[in-house]
Structure formats: structure tokens, C-alpha cells
Structure 1
């Protein structure tokens, strides 16, 4: 038989009601008593019985948000990036959207790092009595392990196909296609790709497919020396340019799969005395506000990041309320914003 709340109360030397107050974060419990209870919970390995609590209609009004850590190819960069990828404005924007939408509906959010195991995540769902879970990014092995959890799950930016999950995203392959096609339409043929790691079911893999499709439509071969996978960061873009130009100095255009990498691309090209777009053109992906104020202003595929977070949260709250949702997948629209970073070679 598993550890019960009675065992925790005995270990901590308090009443069962006090343990319940601490676990549910309710009632007036002193800091000292709370610490004693939490210590007993940890030492005994106690996990609250979520099913039993749901039978009496209790909700925590707490939503878990799982954030990926893609890591970096560079150890120095990796050591400086122990911060949930918050240096990438994508995560700040989408978390702001999730948090504000949740708050308006009376929910709080709990951030969870994807670096922990599926068992640990399941334990958090039970211990913190999460009402639902939003997962950002492609984490196929983790998602397979989280299928059949007892709470609704909404995925953002994942191409995993599983009827246990609901999904919000964009057509990333189409985004990669229109970005690359824009360069092709303006006469570019030596087009490089700077991308994050090509993970199964991930957005960068889909954007890479779009890049491939656009080139193959024009009978332009896919060259290995024109493809560079780096950490999705300013440092990644900076390093990627140097690597690409060492392999092929004839490149006239670069498709960067994230605006944050394009910042590094701009810096490196400037250091190399290569002008944008006169020497090398750049097309990016995201359309964060700062891209309009770069010099030259950055052409980029615009995706509705804030809307992604809001729609995902609204969907999850509907599922928590037991509402029927027939469509398991929602695809939001994107568009290419043409600015001044691409030269017409025709």
C-alpha cells in the first residue's frame, strides 16, 4: 500500500487537516509547520491522490507550461544559457500571452523545464494537482511518455500526431518555402540555411523542408555546405555565418529560421565588411518588433506568437471545463514581410 496523508501527518507530527492545507496551499499554516510537512512529504515520497481529489470536485486552477531547452552546440554558450531560453523573445512573448490569458480566467501557471524526465513531470502533475498542461516545442520521446496522463494537454509548435493531445501552430514548411522562394524570385541561387537542430517533429525540420522544396522546384540542388545547424541564439547565428562562408564564399542569400539568429548574422557580416543586402541578402523568421529597426530592416516571415499562446490557453481551459472540442489541431496564418535585407539580382 502506498504512502497516505495519515503517514505524512504522523511523520510531521501534525494533523491530517494541516497536511491537507499545506498540500493545497490553503489555510493559515506557519512557515515552520509548512517546512515540517514538506520535509515529511519528500522523505516519504508521498504523492497526493489526484483522482480522489477530483471526485470531490476540487481544482487547483494551476496550469503547467513545459518549456524546451534546445541546448547549444557551443559549451560556452550553453553555460551562459541556464534560463529557460528567455534570451529568445519567442519564449518571453508566448509565456506573456499564456500567463495573461490564464490570469484573466482565474488560473496560475507553473513553469517546468523539459530537461527533467517524463516520470518527474507526471509526479509534478500529481503533486501540484495541475488542471492541464501546455507543452512548447517538439519533444517526441517525452510526448510519447506523457500520453494518457490524466489531464488535458495542448501542444504548441509540435508535429507529433497523437489523439491524446491538442495542437496549436503554424505551417512552418510553408514559412520556410516562402522565405526561400523570395530569395529565388529575386535571382538568388546560392542560398544558405542557418537553422536550429533538425529535431523530429520540430519547427526547424519543417522550415528546412520548405527550404528544400523551394530549391528543388527550381532544379537547384541541396548542397550540404550551404546548410548549418547551430544553437537558436544570437551566438548561433554569428558562428553559423563564419562556418558557411568558410565552406562556400559564393553564397548570395541566407535563410535564417529565427530572428534571434539573424541578429548574430548581422553582427558577423558587419565584422567581415560584408554589406546587407549588397553582398549577402538575409531572410528570417518570426517578425519580432526589433527587426523593423535593424539596418537594413529585416525581411522576415511573420508568425502570430502572442496569438499562439492565447489560443493554446483558451483551448486548454475549455478542455479543463469539460467542453467538447472536435478539432484536435489549429493552424494559424503567416505571411512574408518584405523589407530591405534582400537584393534583387535580376
Structure 2
């Protein structure tokens, strides 16, 4: 016969409600009582019924994952989002949690979907897969006291939220260090987006490290394959700076930059080296394979889910912190080692 809360309470000499408060980790219970109850649970072999506890607390055992508005630039198709969603799904399955997806073409549509999911009690909280300045979706979550975690960087002042992030400024600096170790000093920073916090932080890392190493940092170069003006500006920048390497914000864009460079007569890595971020499946689609920094997307997803679940199950222990997930370089073929020339 299964051991119940009443059995534990009787063994310790306390009420069943006291045992329940220990299970909920309520601060009103003394440490001494907690230890007695926990010891009795262990001795008796008591296994908490999480589903029953959640039912009493009105929880659904489901979380929502919020994608960025799809109308912006088709980012929903990027490998990052598919990879992190897979990690969240896998971790959720191991914990008996279901995952629902919130999408929308615009911020208003996205907010409507989030509100519907939460008000109909389909989910207990949300994971935001992006972080942008003055985000109306995040504002809605905060104003309505909905529990959420963010995969990304804090970009707003006085925003109380839990952020799961890469140290993006350190990443930008590490990329400069790697290129310098290969003999590159004329380096450009290329992106296709400007509103997201991680872009600014990676650029800051690039800018400060270039100056620290005595090289000239340049303004971030916007590269949009649908806008000929940005392509022309990028080409002029290559010529005027005599750049030997470019840091690109993510792998798909890096492939497009590589194709454009080859179109205008620059061979990778002989004439221009490319260093990218995400270490996605796209890094090994075409030769030369991309050297790319792995930002541990699977870990970002797992940590974001686990921290969200902690806050949902114990609202009294909410933490407004920034948790950093480490990154590392996966070196392939797209960066030329200039130190070996004529050696």
C-alpha cells in the first residue's frame, strides 16, 4: 500500500497540512520540522504525487513557448528556433510537461494568442525565445503577473524577469581574439538585425576588444540580401577597409555573406575569412565549412524550461536573475591562418 501524507504526519507527530507545507517548501515551517518530515518521508518511502499537488494548486503541467512575430523577417524558420524548441520539448517530456506554441504575424496577434492560452488555463507560464527593446509581449506578461523566462539578454531597464543567456559581450571579444590569433587585424562585424539585445552586446565585445588589441573597430555592417543598397555598402566596406575577416551574427547569414563574397570575386577563406555563431546544421552545408561558435542552444532551452518550472511551482521563490550558458568555438575551414603565410 502506498505511503500517504497522513502516514508521514502521524510518524512525525504533526498535521497533514504541515507535511503539505513542507512539500511546498513554505517559509513558515521551521528548519527543524522540515528535517523531521523529510527524514520520515525517506524512511517510509513516501513519493510525492506531483500531478495531484498541481491539480490542487490549479496547475496545468503545460508551458507555452513564444516565438518572435513572424512578419518581421522570417526568423521563425531559422535553425536556432527549431533547435531550441526541440531541446525544450525533450526536457519537458522527461518531466511530464507538455509544450504549446504561441505564434503570430504581428505583436498584437501574438499577444492575443498568449492571452487566450493563459486565460483558458492551457499553460502555467511562458518561455520567450527572443528579447527586444520595448517588447509589448513581455510588457503584457509582466503587467498581468504571468510567470515567464526569457532566452536572451536583458535590454530594458527595471525589467524584472529571468533571463537565460549567452555572455554575448564575451563572445564578441572571443571572436576577435580567435581571428587575431590567426593573424587577422582588419575585421568587420556583419549583422542583418539591430533591435535585439544580443546583437548590441556582441558588437560591444567586438568593438572593445578591437580597441584593446590596437586595431580599428568599424561600425556594424548591415547585410540584407533583399536590399541592394546594403549589399553595395558591404562591398565598399570590404574594399575601403581591406578587411581580411568578417564576424557574422549567425550561420544562415554567414552562408549568404559567403555566397555574396564569392559573387563579387572574394574567395573564402583565401581572400576573406568568415567566423560565425550558432554552430547549426547549416555550418556544414557547403564548402568551405563554417568556423562557428556553439552557444549551447540545447542547454539554453533546458535551463529556460527548468527555471520556469521552478518559479511556477514555487512562486514565493521567484528569482529575477541572468543565468549564463557557456559557449565554445568549433573550428572548420572558413578562417585562414595568416600566421603561416611565408613561414
- The match for 2:34 is none
2:298 aligned counterpart, secondary structure: helix
CA deviation after TM superposition for structure 1 residue 285, in Å: 0.7
- The match for 2:10 is none
Rounded Cα–Cα distance in structure 1 between residues aligned with 2:70 and 2:233: 20
Rounded Cα–Cα distance in structure 1 between residues aligned with 2:62 and 2:303: 17
Rounded Cα–Cα distance in structure 2 between residues aligned with 1:138 and 1:242: 30
- The match for 1:296 is 288
TM-score by length of structure 2 reads: 0.71
Rounded Cα–Cα distance in structure 2 between residues aligned with 1:183 and 1:135: 33
For this pair of structures, how many residues does the alignment match? 277
1:335 aligns with 2:328: yes
- The match for 1:223 is 218
Contact 1:178–1:336 under 8 Å retained in 2: no
Rounded Cα–Cα distance in structure 1 between residues aligned with 2:331 and 2:231: 22
1:184 aligns with 2:174: no
1:67 aligns with 2:58: no
- The match for 2:97 is 107
Q: Residue 110 and residue 164 in structure 1: after superposition, are their counterparts in 2 closer, same or farther (change >3 A)?
A: same
CA deviation after TM superposition for structure 1 residue 330, in Å: 1.3
Contact 1:134–1:156 under 8 Å retained in 2: yes
1:255 aligned counterpart, secondary structure: strand
Unaligned runs of 5+ in 1: 1-53, 73-77
Match of 1:135 among 128, 138, 141: 128
TM-score by length of structure 1 reads: 0.71
Mean alpha-carbon deviation: is it higher for 245-254 or for 278-287? 245-254
CA deviation after TM superposition for structure 1 residue 306, in Å: 1.1
1:168 aligned counterpart, secondary structure: strand
Q: Residue 57 and residue 298 in structure 1: after superposition, are their counterparts in 2 closer, same or farther (change >3 A)?
A: same
Q: What RMSD over aligned residues (CA atoms) do the two structures have, in Å? A: 2.9
- The match for 1:209 is 204
Mean alpha-carbon deviation: is it higher for 253-262 or for 291-300? 291-300
Unaligned runs of 5+ in 2: 1-53
CA deviation after TM superposition for structure 1 residue 102, in Å: 2.0
1:97 aligns with 2:87: yes
- The match for 1:154 is 149
Larger radius of gyration: 2
Rounded Cα–Cα distance in structure 1 between residues aligned with 2:152 and 2:319: 19
2:77 aligned counterpart, secondary structure: coil
Contact 2:172–2:204 under 8 Å retained in 1: yes
- The match for 1:245 is 235
Q: Deviations over 1:100-156 (max 9, x none)?
A: 222332332222236333863345421344201111111332223432433321110
Describe how 1:72-91 pairs up with structure 2 within 5 A. Answer: 78=73, 81=74, 85-91=75-81
